């Protein structure tokens, strides 16, 4: 029996330590995330239906997870009597691009934002893009950087480097217009972001990547803190072994 006493004491001390740590963690927990209320369909709604009071319900979500461009509950009255332009499922979010609003494009621009057009070629991802789609814009640009080495005059060398990075990880297409040669996207952005986009398009190669709708992950540049440059692909070769092609390559084995 005496041999079990140290074991019992160890278990009791371990349990006490776990309880103490859990209390400390709960005491130091950050302030709960702020919530926000958005508009959601109360049932499945088909394109062409006119919205009434019984079609809309309030949906509470974390402010950080609220998709860009959704209707807030405080603006629910603006949806009454409006025509739905695409099928909506029970519990979905309602975006400005989902409703045919009077006043043209200016009616679907977010508060404190501006409407920005972006022209893209009709190749690649363009045929798959639709109003309401979420996209990521990736920029490949060349920038000057002072190298650590100095030249013969003792001055730091100015090196040009080309890198690819996600400039806007998450944007929603409000509208899209196609012509014979290219397509124009209508985006709603903060004024500073709009200027950055225009500069990126003018000085670099910008590519469009299609995102999953309502995906709250990887929605900011902090979530994708990566760039791909000249040093990236040599890293892929590290740890690999050279493959030697055999002289009898292509010979069919006999069974």
Quick check: is 18 in a domain?
no
| Contact predicate 118/139, CB 8 Å | no
Task: Look up the domain containing 194 and give its range.
Answer: 110-230
- Buried b or exposed e, range 21-59, using 16+ CB within 10 angstroms: eeeeeeeeeeeeeeebebbbbeeebeeeeebeeebbeeb
- Specify the DSSP class assigned to residue 243: P
Domain closes at, from 81, 108, 135: 108
State the pLDDT confidence band at 155, using cuts at 50, 70 and 90: confident
Q: Do 66 and 138 fall into the same domain?
A: no
Among residues 117, 131, 107, 119, the alpha carbon closest in space to that of 194 is found at 117
As beta bridge partners, residue 41 has 56
φ/ψ of 71, rounded to 5, equals: -80, 130
Question: In total, how many domains does the chain have?
Answer: 2
Quick check: is 239 in a domain?
no
Q: Do 210 and 124 fall into the same domain?
A: yes
Q: What are the pLDDT digits (tens) for 54-77?
A: 999 999 988 877 776 778 898 888
Q: Do 198 and 157 fall into the same domain?
A: yes
Q: Do 152 and 221 fall into the same domain?
A: yes
DSSP string of 33-52, one letter each residue: PPEEEEEEESS-B-TTPBP-
φ/ψ of 92, rounded to 5, equals: -70, 170
As beta bridge partners, residue 208 has 137
How many other CB atoms sit within 10 Å of the CB of residue 3?
Answer: 6
Domain closes at, from 71, 93, 108: 108
Burial class (CB in 10 A: 0-12, 13-18, 19+), 6: exposed
Tokens of 116: 């920005």
Alpha carbon distance 55, 43 (integer Å): 7
Q: Do 100 and 127 fall into the same domain?
A: no
Mean pLDDT check: name the lowest of 12-26, 93-107, 136-150, 216-230.
Answer: 12-26
pLDDT of res. 209:
92
Alpha carbon distance 211, 67 (integer Å): 13
Give the rounded distance of the alpha carbon of 11 from its chain centre: 47
| Contact predicate 99/85, CB 8 Å | yes
Mean pLDDT check: name the lowest of 57-61, 94-98, 228-232, 234-238.
Answer: 94-98
Q: Do 191 and 210 fall into the same domain?
A: yes
How many other CB atoms sit within 10 Å of the CB of residue 169?
Answer: 20
Quick check: is 143 in a domain?
yes
Q: Do 39 and 127 fall into the same domain?
A: no
What pTM was computed for the model? 0.56
Alpha carbon distance 135, 208 (integer Å): 6
Q: Do 96 and 42 fall into the same domain?
A: yes
Alpha carbon distance 38, 164 (integer Å): 35
Q: What are the pLDDT digits (tens) for 91-134?
A: 888 887 777 765 555 556 777 888 898 988 877 778 888 877 88
Q: What are the pLDDT digits (tens) for 186-201?
A: 898 899 999 999 999 9
CATH number at residue 100: 3.90.1210.10
Q: Do 143 and 213 fall into the same domain?
A: yes
Among residues 164, 38, 32, the alpha carbon closest in space to that of 98 is found at 38
pLDDT of res. 24:
55
Q: What are the pLDDT digits (tens) for 12-58?
A: 666 566 566 556 554 554 555 788 899 999 999 998 899 998 999 99
Give the rounded distance of the alpha carbon of 174 from its chain centre: 16
Q: Do 63 and 172 fall into the same domain?
A: no
pLDDT of res. 255:
54
Quick check: is 14 in a domain?
no
Q: Do 117 and 197 fall into the same domain?
A: yes
Q: Do 115 and 179 fall into the same domain?
A: yes
Quick check: is 243 in a domain?
no
């Amino acid at each position: 029996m005496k041999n079990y006493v140290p074991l019992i004491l160890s278990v009791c001390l371990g349990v006490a330590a776990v309880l103490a740590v859990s209390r400390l963690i709960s005491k130091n927990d950050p302030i709960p995330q702020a919530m926000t209320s958005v508009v959601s369909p109360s049932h499945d709604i088909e394109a062409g239906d006119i919205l009434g009071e019984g079609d809309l319900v309030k949906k509470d979500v974390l402010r950080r997870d609220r998709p860009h461009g959704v209707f807030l509950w405080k603006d629910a009255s603006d949806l009454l009597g409006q025509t739905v332009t695409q099928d909506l499922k029970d519990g979905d979010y309602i975006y400005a691009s989902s409703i045919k609003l009077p006043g043209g494009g200016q009616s679907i621009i977010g508060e404190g934002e501006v409407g920005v057009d972006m022209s893209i070629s009709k190749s690649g991802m363009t045929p798959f893009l639709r109003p309401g789609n979420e996209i990521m814009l990736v920029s490949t640009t060349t920038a000057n950087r002072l190298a650590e080495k100095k030249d013969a005059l003792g001055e730091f060398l100015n090196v040009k480097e080309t890198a690819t990075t996600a400039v806007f990880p998450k944007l929603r297409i409000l509208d899209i217009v196609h012509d014979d040669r290219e397509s124009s996207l209508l985006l709603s952005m903060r004024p500073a972001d709009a200027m950055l986009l225009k500069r990126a398009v003018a000085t670099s190669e910008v590519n469009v990547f299609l995102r999953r709708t309502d995906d709250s992950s990887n929605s900011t540049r902090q979530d994708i803190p990566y760039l791909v440059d000249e040093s990236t692909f040599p890293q892929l070769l590290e740890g690999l072994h050279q493959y030697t092609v055999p002289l009898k390559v292509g010979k069919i084995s006999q069974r």
